[in-house]
Each structure stands twice: as structure tokens, then as C-alpha cells.
Structure 1
Amino acid sequence: MRQALLFTLAALTMVACGSEPVADSMPSGGFWSRAAVSDEEKVSVLRKVRAIDVCALLPRASLARLGTVGTVEDVRPDQCRVGIAVAGHLTGIDATWSTGVMFSGEPAMDGPVREESMGDVRVLFDDEPATSADPQARAACQAWALFVSGADLSLSVRAPGDACATAADLLRIALVEFRAEPPHGTSPDTDRTVVTGADPCAVAPLLGFPVPVADQRLTTCTLTVDGHEAIVTYDYGSERPITDDTPVFTVGARQVFRFEPDTATSSITSLSAVVGPALTPGPTDALLGPRVPKVSVTADSSVAEKVMRETLPLLP
């Protein structure tokens, strides 16, 4: 019943009442419709977005009306991707969506942007029509939904026909699901790892350096430690590019690897560590090894080691 309602919302943004249009019927109000002004409010938005199961925002049952749903890949803790086979089309639909926050400014989009409202959410569309009349050609669309609270949801779609129409249909489903705040584990396609929903800025109090809210994101944290900038990232990635780097030290049972840059003139280094077992197999596993949860720290060499040694014990 709920999905049927969502499909109706996806198809209709106004109803006829004589010649008078009515307001968009998407839901609004509540936490996501209040602007985060103070640092405490912004941190609250970050925490709540981080706790959402991103793959659950477009349930398989909702996607099935567009075609045959193939692989749903949990790309990163804040990003999910799906391929949908469409009858009569060789490549079908590919969609990738990500959660995030944007408390100021506008998203960077390449082409002319069209704006519309879905409830009180601003949605920006960048349409890239197919360059060929071939019915097998696909169009592309970048869409960005901006909640009043500062949360956002971005969506990239390649699809037959009007890709932005497909993107709009998907967003109308995802924005309703977003307000329901599905917790991690709601989607059967979501991997649960030690970095799922974890705060990359959790190490800051241990180091004694506060982090302005402007430098906090869902999966990255930018700290200033001993006068040097350090970037901590919680992510998923292929195992082989990590373990092919130089092993430098261990923290507990975890081996830390250092990426050796081509130039010897910089003191900046990048350290990475695998922090859990392999995720659900993905399309690049055969080439680059299984995808794994990882922690990376990029900073001046001595600072990077200091931050990594404090960060890894925070993860079980």
C-alpha cells in the first residue's frame, strides 16, 4: 500500500481542480524542514544523516516497476548504486545516489540547472540528453535535493529516454523514505561494517584539537593537528591497492600501509588500513581484490601516524 502511494506521488505533482494547480503533495515539516543554524543543530543533522541506510532509500520493490533490478551495490557508507535491466534496451538504467550535508553554498553542477520543489525540498536538475537518435542511446541526469535542514541527497542517472524524468521519479520515492530515517540494516543490500555510520571526527577529542562543524562530513573529517591539516576518511575500497602499498607499522592486529608519492619533495603522506572483512562481492573484485572497509589518514608524515594510531583503536 505504501509503495503504491509513492508511485502515485511520483507520477503526480498536481491535480486538476478546474484550471487551478494545487501545491506539491510531497511531505514536509518536522526535523528535516527546520534550518540548522547553531553548531549543535548542524552536528545533529550530521548524526541523523550518518545513521540512515542509504541503500534503503530506494527499495528494490520500488525500483522493480522500472525494470528488472540487478545488482544493488553498497559503494560507500554514504552511497549506493543499482543497475536495472529494461526490456528492449541493451544497457537499461544505472543510478547512483549519495547522502550528505550542505549547510551553505550551492552544489557544483556542470550544465544549465533547472530547479523545482518537491514539498519544501529544493531539487536541482542538470539534464544531459542523448547525443544520438539511436533508441539504444542513453541520456544522463544529475539531480541534487537540498533539505531545509542542510541535509542533501544527490542522484546520478543514465537511462533510456528522459533521464531527468526517471531521476525525478526516483527522488520522489527516496525523499519520502529519507524522512522515515531507515536505520542501517534496513536494506538487505547494505553491508554492516565497523565504519558504517561511524563518525570520522571521533578521534578529535583524543588528540585535543576541536573540529569546526564546517570541517565535518559524513565520512571525512578535516583536523588541524600540531599546526598541520589532517584528513581522516572512513570508506570502502578494493583491498589490493591498499595492501600493495608499503607496510609501515601495526596498531593492534591491524597493518597500516603508506602510499609512496611519485615526488620526494613533499612531506605529505597517505596511510591506510583495512578494518574489517570483505564486503559483498562487487563487479571489480576479480581485478582489484575484494572491497573492504578502510580508514585513511592524509597529512604530514609524523601527524598522519599520530592520527592513525589514535583512530584505529576506536573501531572494534
Structure 2
Amino acid sequence: MSVPRRFLPSISSLRALEALDRLGSASAAAAELSLTQGAVSRQLQALERQLGLELVVRAGKKLTLSTEAAAYADEIRQALDRIAQATLTVQASPLAGSLNLAILPAFGMRWLMPRLPEFSRRHPDVTINMSTRLTQFNFALEGFDAALHFGNADWPGTDSLLLKQEQLLPVCAPELRQRYQLAAPADVLDMPLLHIQSRPNAWRDWFARQDVQPEGALPGTMYDQFATINQAALHGLGVALMPDYLVEQDLATGRLVALHAQPEDIGGAYYLVWPRSKARNPALLQFRGWLAGQAQPEDPLPR
């Protein structure tokens, strides 16, 4: 991408602008940047000449930014943070590099983690740094190279790799199951329902697939993560619609029982998502190439 020089001010002048905005005074900005106040002032003057705009309000020796300049400084701060992060990354892993990956906590821990040792053996020169995120975010602001997320592959400005269709199964504690007569799916409506924030229509969709049409809103308690709703189900607080890969062990040990014979796909899947601007990242290329071989929704979780 070719950008005219007038749109690329010097890093020094941009740092002076950002520091003045954040610290509120030229003296504090000068101290942080190891410059004199006069040098800070000259950096800002040079920036104003290049942009053809007045950015600084001068009252004697006091310098403050105009409203427009403060908004510009916010954008510059994010860009400087990304430059610093990219520099640290290439210094830490100069060969294959590192991958900054956002993961959903439950899917990351229960689906990805058991598979990662194989990736580490095959690609020991790639470092994967992981952080949890529960909802979609702006890649430009967060600085992640990729994310493991749930949805419909409609994240703007990205490409994706399907990893697993989500299949849900209604489960509860054995003690709770014994208290109810369940002859048909509609009888589940008599039980306390546990809902999760990220799938607000999951129960209604599940009942629709069983040809059950509940009247009005579905009551129940709401949870923000699968880890907490799983604990609620284990302690007999209600029935939860859980992804099959999350409850395999609890079903096998009898801590939970299934109220339906088979898990069902009621829409949505897990994807590896990456911004198109990061598509040539060497670490991402190796990771998604390996992950493509793991993307088999019908396979059980490795033991």
C-alpha cells in the first residue's frame, strides 16, 4: 500500500501529541519522553505544519490540545500500541513468530487444549498466546491475530475455518430427573430451565425441533458461561442445554443424565476467525493449516 508522505507524520511528533493528551502538560510529556519542553513544542509545531492544522492551544507556556486534536490523539495511541506490540512480537519470536489468539473459555479449554500438544510437537518454533473473550470484538482495537469463536462466520473483514458444528443436549443431575415424570419432550417444560446468555433462544429452538410450542416466555435462570451453567446443572438447579463435548465425562460418570437420546444441531458453529490483514502471518498460516486437520465435527474429544 502506497501512502503519501504527508499522511505519515514522524513517530516522534506523534508520541509528543499522544503524551501531551494523556498527561495534560508539556512538562510531563517532556519528562516521559526524555526531552525538553522546547523540543516537545517543536515536535508539535512540525506536526501542525505537516497536517496544515492547528492542533495545540497555546496560553503562555501552557499547551493543551483542541477537541479535534484530542480525538486524533486517541486514534494515534491505538496505532502506537499496535506498533509496539508488533515490535515485541517479532523480537520475541523472530523466526516463525507468535500467535495472539482469542478463545472462548469452555471451547478453548475442552476442545483446543487437548489437541495443542500435537501442534507444539510439530511446530515448536511457534508460540501461542491466548486470552479469553466471550463476545465478538474489533480485531483492529484488540490486536489479536485470530480468534476461536462461535457464530455463523459473519465477522466483517475476516476469513474463517469451520471447526465444529455445535450440538446441544439437555442434561440435569440424576436426583432432579427422578423428581419428574418425563414421557415426552414437552414434559421438560415442567422442570426449571437453565439459560445461557450467548444462546438466548437455544431452549425455544430445541423445543421447536421436538414439535413443542411453549406459550409465552420460557422461565428460568440465566448464566454467562458454560462453566457456571454446568455447575448449576451438576448441583440440581435445573436442566441445561449443553454442547455434547462439554458433558461427555459427566455423562459417562453418571454425574449428569441426558433427557434426550441424541444431541442436536440447532444452528451455529465454532470457527477459527482471522482478519484478512493478518492472513500472511507465518504463525497463523502454520496454526490454521494444522487446525484444518482437526476440524472434524463428528469426531469425539480425544482421550
TM-score, length basis structure 1 = 0.28
Q: Which has the higher contact order (CA 8 A, sep 6+)?
A: 2
Greater Rg by CA: 2
Higher helix share: 2
TM-score, scaled to structure 2? 0.29
Instruction: Answer 1 or 2: which has greater strand percent.
Output: 1
